[in-house]
A and B are shown apart, each in its own frame.
Chain A
């Protein structure tokens, strides 16, 4: 069944505001990946985190992996309309699980 819980399910922000989505697991994760799905599109890989406490940045996006490797977050600074979409975390081995996703709406 579902291995990671993701919150919030929806987030509406004004353009320029920040946005954060969280993934939590009851078990220790070996690694976690993040994907973005634009409206009407397919999921696209963003990044993978492997190490405890790891922080990676991609322009305005900051990804964190918790010290205990049980949670992760994606933070977007100063959102733009191009950030609209659904963000998923994902983890697993051969069987690979996705979180329920956070749908981001950016109001111009």
Chain B
């Protein structure tokens, strides 16, 4: 089944403790992206990747890192999480940049930083 898989679904952590949210897609998509969703703010793009070893900042990249060492994986790394990074995170992928093809989203990761 074609899908975008994120793990974990829920994560509670403390300030400053490094964490990684994994994202994997099995559709051979070139483009991958991370979004965070907060009430009243919609979906805001954190980082995106056009292909392997190519990553770019989105709207809200501060406090986040990503890597794209393989086409299928696009992990989101929080080196030192803070409470303002408490949010719902979505990974998404598309065959081409999203203005040319629709995004496929993972099921989301709800992160709480205390």
Contact = CB atoms under 8 A, between A and B. Distances in A.
A6 interface: yes
Interface stretch (B14-22, B63-71, B73-81, B101-109): B101-109
Interface in B23-55: 31, 33, 35, 40-45, 48, 50
Of the four ranges (under 10, 10 to 19, 20 to 34, 35 or more), the interface on chain A belongs to 20 to 34
Given A94-B48, A95-B56, A88 B43 contact: yes
Contacts of B45: 95-98
Interface string B72-114: 0000000000000000001010000111001111111000000
Contacts, number: 67
Contacts of B1: none
Given A95-B56, A96-B33, A100-B41, A43 B103 contact: yes
Contacts of B97: 93-94, 96
Interface residues of B, number: 26
A101 interface: yes
Contact of A98 (B31, B42, B56, B104): B42
B90 A42 contact: yes
A103 to B, nearest CB: 10
Contacts of B35: 98
A92 interface: yes
A30 B88 CA distance: 29
B42 A101 contact: yes
A83 to B, nearest CB: 19
Interface string A81-95: 000000010111111
Nearest to A45: B102
B99 A42 contact: no
B33 A48 contact: no
8 contacts: A48-B102, A90-B103, A97-B45, A97-B59, A98-B35, A98-B44, A100-B40, A100-B41
